[in-house]
Amino acid sequence: MKDFFLVVNPTAAGSRVEKIWNDQIKPKIDSKLDYEFEFTTRIGHALELSQQKANEGYKVICSVGGDGTANEVINGVLKAEKKSIFSAFTVGTGNDIPTVFGIPEGDIDAIIESLINGQDKKFDVGYCINADRYFGGVASMGFDAEVADRANKGIKKWRGKGNYQRAIFITILKFKPYDIIIEPNTGPIVTGPRMLVAIGNGKRYGGGMHICPDADPNDNLFHGTTLRKISRLLFLRLFPRTYDGSHLTHPATETFEGNIIKVDSPKKKCLYQVDGEILGHLPETFVTKPNFLTVRVPDPWIPYADIWEEKLAEKKK
């Protein structure tokens, strides 16, 4: 039995991952890792492969793709009967999930080094009770979910921020707010017309938008952000501020916390998504699972909060 199994999504990043795998990843790991791999061929295949290979006894199950692939691999690992460790090559359209765990973003050599000489660290994940789905990054509903739905169906030649921003501009033209009910177990109920609701286990989604900048996958707590009804023009001006987290200072933005959060939209159907994957319509109950996922990370490990803070400081210079 080999130590590593790599789940490769060749269609991720506009089908560029197959070339990245053949030209940049496979030649480097052939002489360094004791591994096997398989290409995914359909939605859900990465989850099935990960669960199967974890149960066969592979020590580390590694996602090669973007956030959609990472989410499936995480679910496969966590739903397997045998314990395995999650890791990822961050080479997809969005790489928000592995990045908030401290896996190097887009640095193939650093990721290989962490696979060989890294450490194993436990992190919280979120869990959707109705959908029976885990997530590492952000769950969101309303505008966010409509954007994710459009981005998933859109033109994948737009990578990361470009793909997500394109979906934002198209969605804003047709979007109407939802009457949302948010029930955190540790705070007051939040109600009223909302543009979006985001529940963060991690800070970011959409290729680097820090919608829940206070979220930390080590604190056993969701940090949520919701935006009240505002004009389209103001929304377009405010949303780019999610990259540096400054949107939280706007009076239309409201935050909430909890480790169990119920969300519903009783007046009309509202899509929700986790880690960029549409799961269906509300209602849903989101629950934190503390120290539930073991991840292979660099040694020494640097918390993503520190990495992000350093990047913000560099931009201000």
Taking only the tens place, the pLDDT of each residue in 70-100 is 999 999 999 999 999 999 999 998 899 999 9
The domain tally of the chain equals 2
Between 137 and 172, name the one with better pLDDT. Answer: 137
Residue where one domain finishes, among candidates 85, 117, 149: 117
One domain, residues 139 and 286: yes
One domain, residues 55 and 144: no
Q: Is residue 305 part of a domain?
A: no
One domain, residues 102 and 148: no
**Residue (of 124, 96, 107) closest to 293 by Cα position:** 124
Mean pLDDT (the chain, rounded): 93
CATH assignment at residue 153: 2.60.200.40
Residue 161's pLDDT is 52
Residue 173's pLDDT is 87
Residue 155's pLDDT is 53
**What secondary structure letter does DSSP report for 194?**
E
Q: Is residue 177 part of a domain?
A: yes
Instruction: Assign 166 a pLDDT band (cuts: 50, 70, 90).
Output: confident
Residue 261: strand pairing partners? 184, 286
Q: How far apart are the first and last CA of the chain?
A: 50
Q: Is residue 314 part of a domain?
A: no
One domain, residues 191 and 239: yes
Is the pLDDT score of 157 beyond 50? Answer: no
One domain, residues 281 and 140: yes
**Residue (of 95, 86, 125, 177) closest to 286 by Cα position:** 125
Q: Is residue 127 part of a domain?
A: no
CB 29 within 8 A of CB 3: no
One domain, residues 173 and 109: no
Domain of residue 137, residue span: 133-290
pLDDT in tens, 58-73: 999 999 999 999 999 9
Cα 66 to Cα 267: distance, rounded to the nearest angstrom: 34
One domain, residues 106 and 227: no
One domain, residues 66 and 207: no
Residue 154's pLDDT is 63
CATH assignment at residue 75: 3.40.50.10330
Is the pLDDT score of 191 beyond 70? Answer: yes
HSE-CB at 294 with a 13 A cutoff on CA atoms is 12
What average pLDDT does range 46-55 have in this prediction?
98
Q: Is residue 316 part of a domain?
A: no
One domain, residues 282 and 151: yes
Q: Is residue 8 part of a domain?
A: yes
Share of the chain above pLDDT 70, in %: 96
What average pLDDT does range 195-200 have in this prediction?
96
One domain, residues 137 and 286: yes
Is the pLDDT score of 104 beyond 90? Answer: yes
What average pLDDT does range 266-284 have in this prediction?
95
SS3 115: helix
What average pLDDT does range 191-215 have in this prediction?
95
Cα 226 to Cα 141: distance, rounded to the nearest angstrom: 10
Q: Is residue 126 part of a domain?
A: no
Instruction: Assign 1 a pLDDT band (cuts: 50, 70, 90).
Output: low
Q: Is residue 157 part of a domain?
A: yes
SS3 246: helix
Phi then psi dihedrals of residue 276, to 5 deg: 85, 0
Is the pLDDT score of 38 beyond 90? Answer: yes
One domain, residues 102 and 142: no
Which pair of tokens denotes residue 153? 């169906």
Instruction: Assign 162 a pLDDT band (cuts: 50, 70, 90).
Output: low
Residue 163's pLDDT is 67
One domain, residues 96 and 55: yes
